[in-house]
Amino acid sequence: MLFTDTSFAVFLPIVFALYWLLQRAPKWQNALVLVASYVFYGWWSWRFLLLIAFTSLCSYVSGIKMGTGENVGKAAHRKLWLWANIVINLGILAIFKYYDFFVAELAQLFGLDGDPLMLHVALPVGISFYTFQALSYSIDVYKGRVEPTRNIVAFFAYIAFFPQLVAGPIERATQLLPQFLRSRHFDYKLAIDGARQILWGLFKKMVVADNCASYVDAVFAQSQGPASHLLAAVLFAFQIYGDFSGYSDIAIGTAKLFGIRLMQNFRTPYFSRDIAEFWRRWHISLTTWFRDYVYIPLGGSRVPKWKVVRNTFVIFLLSGIWHGANWTFVAWGGYHACLFLPLILLGRNRRYTNTVAAGRLLPTWKELGQMTLTFALVAFGWVVFRATGIPSALAFIRTMCHPEAISAAWMFFADSGISVARVGIIVMLVVEWLQRDKEHGLQDADRVVRNRWLRYLLFAALFVATYFFRGAYTEFIYFQF
């Protein structure tokens, strides 16, 4: 089931109504969330429900075993249960996501036919997301950051919570699990804010991302002129942002309808002034996951310089591999490591922790230049990310860098084929610039537009625009990860 499907528009109100009818019975609320989440995921493929259940069970049992009386003082036993769960869950992820890729690569390297050894299994949607969420629980229990729970229904609901099940945010047990262990009461203001965030997410996905996709897919499928390549690179940068941040907005907004708060996953990353700030604002749940569970345990930046270099490349290469079994993702991760490394070695990676142009309507020329350069570097990397292979990425970049590509600026403002995408991008950028210190583009709309009827009219206009100017449906990009 997809957020943009008619089936979800029917499913959500039904679950919402039943959920709040059970307001005085949190155990039954959790049971409803679990059933609804399994229906939501099983709508795609019921067979892979067994995989989620198995992942949940392994993490649940390991948590209990690490926290039972006989193991509390036995570090070796607790470590055994931790690593057993890590190996099992990463092993499942490796089999479904990476096994066929590495078999094919090794077979090609040695000139063999690897097809008989391949599994040819479908990649379960969201497996990377819920696996990392399950692993964070085990690690946090081992580290003593969270108490192991014996409430199996609440724990299974934590792993499979349907709004963020297939594409995040990747939640931590310390933040999300306690919300399933306490009573929830309907919060009208939170629900209204959630509905607005859903609307904003749908606009970014259906108007911005889907309209960009038609142009981007055509150019990446068949080589065209330099200007078209450069324009496609820029449009893909907005497509992937509108697509993924749009999903996150819908997920976070949907969770708010149920009185559940999820972590913010994007904070206007294209207004970043350097690459370090970009990575503090892009896919925050994954970035902080690697920081907390990989980078810091390796010593972080408080180690000799050569280890800082190692740690930086480790987390960026792992981030690339996490995205999929293709060398393009590895190259994309390495590219960002090279951009990030000078900042961290010079101690300049924390220069920009405040909101750009805080307290001012417009940025300075310096800030505008910094944001433009950062966007250009990020968009260049997205070409490698989007390409089907390294050779095609290099060919695309070679064409894109031709001097004739400068006419792409004219094409962006004049090409009638991208008129809806162009307007959608401009609207998105203007709204998010004005709301850059907020959680989402429509937050606190009451304060921005004080007239209630005018506010309702603007919401209605945004809804109508989303419906009538939506692009041809494209699957959420991060479903493949």
- Residues 121-131 have pLDDT tens digits of 888 989 999 99
Confidence of residue 447 (pLDDT cuts 50, 70, 90): confident
Average pLDDT over residues 37-41: 95
Q: Does 236 share its domain with 358? A: yes
Q: Does 128 share its domain with 267? A: no
Half-sphere exposure of 225 (CA within 13 A, CB side): 9
**461, 198 Cβ separation under 8 angstroms:** no
- 412 within domain boundaries: yes
**42, 49 Cβ separation under 8 angstroms:** yes
Euclidean distance between CA atoms 270 and 430, whole angstroms: 12
- 306 within domain boundaries: no
Among 118, 153, 186, identify where a domain stops.
186
Helix residue ranges, H only, 305-364: 305-323, 327-345
Euclidean distance between CA atoms 78 and 142, whole angstroms: 7
pLDDT above 70: percentage of residues in the chain: 99
Residue 358 gets which letter from DSSP?
A: T
- 233 within domain boundaries: yes
Euclidean distance between CA atoms 128 and 125, whole angstroms: 8
- 386 within domain boundaries: yes
Q: Does 176 share its domain with 211? A: no
- 322 within domain boundaries: no
**153, 30 Cβ separation under 8 angstroms:** yes
Residue with tokens 């931790």: 82
- 343 within domain boundaries: no
**445, 181 Cβ separation under 8 angstroms:** no
Q: Does 198 share its domain with 128? A: no
**270, 426 Cβ separation under 8 angstroms:** no
Boundaries of domain holding 99 = 6-186
Catalytic residue among 229, 283, 323, 440: 323
**82, 58 Cβ separation under 8 angstroms:** no
Among 133, 167, 186, identify where a domain stops.
186
Q: Does 10 share its domain with 142? A: yes
Q: Does 413 share its domain with 476? A: yes
Q: What is the pLDDT of residue 409?
A: 84
Q: Does 174 share its domain with 243? A: no
**221 exposure class (CB count in 10 Å sphere: 0-12, 13-18, 19+):** exposed
Euclidean distance between CA atoms 19 and 30, whole angstroms: 9
Higher-confidence position of 446 and 370: 370
Would you give the distance in Å from CA 218 to the centre of its chain? 25
Global pTM reads 0.94
Q: Does 253 share its domain with 377? A: yes
Q: What is the pLDDT of residue 478?
A: 85
Average pLDDT over residues 367-379: 97
169 preceded by cis ω (within 30°)? yes
Average pLDDT over residues 442-468: 89
- Whether 283 is catalytic is no
- 263 within domain boundaries: yes
12's tokens: 């959500």
E strands, 357-401, in order: none
Q: Does 219 share its domain with 167? A: no
Half-sphere exposure of 236 (CA within 13 A, CB side): 23
Euclidean distance between CA atoms 201 and 389, whole angstroms: 30
Q: Does 83 share its domain with 181? A: yes
Euclidean distance between CA atoms 370 and 153, whole angstroms: 48
Q: Which of 184, 164, 195 is nearest to 259 (CA)?
A: 184
Q: Does 88 share its domain with 178? A: yes
Q: Does 158 share its domain with 262? A: no
pLDDT in tens, 313-359: 999 999 999 998 899 999 999 999 999 999 999 989 989 999 999 88
pLDDT at 235 over 60: yes
What's the total number of domains in the chain? 2
Among 156, 186, 216, identify where a domain stops.
186
